[in-house]
Amino acid sequence: MIDTSLDVINKLGLHARASGKLIEVTSKYRSNIQLGKGKELIDAKNIMSLLMLGAGKGTTLRLVVDGTDEEKACEEIKALFAAKFHEGE
């Protein structure tokens, strides 16, 4: 199991388009992938749950990935956040 943190650095935060891109990544993996603030974790494969997080720019999120492909999933998710969801900022 991987338990780490991610910083939301894109200008608009985890809005609908960014959440959609995150779902494209998380849904490719068999691992259980959760995001949240502190102890409250949500399913990172569920668009409504992601939107309800209300994660704006500057938010630090907890990422928990557990499963057979957890390392690859974690790497790709971190890369997506680092690339600011490819929003061209």
Average pLDDT of the residues in 4-12? 96
* Residues 62 and 5 sit within 8 Å (Cβ to Cβ): yes
At 17-74, the pLDDT tens digits run 999 999 999 999 999 999 999 889 999 999 999 999 999 999 999 999 999 999 999 9
Q: Would you name the residues annotated as active-site residues?
A: 15
Instruction: Name the helix (H) or strand (E) containing 71.
Output: helix 70-82
Q: Break the chain into its structural domains and give their ranges.
A: 2-86
Question: Rounded to the nearest 5 degrees, what angle is found at the Cα of 29, between the Cα atoms of 26 and 33?
Answer: 55
- Please name the residue that has the structure tokens 């557990």: 66
Of 3.40.1260.10, 3.30.1340.10, 3.40.50.20, 3.40.50.300, the CATH number of 2-86 is: 3.30.1340.10
The pTM assigned to this predicted structure is 0.94
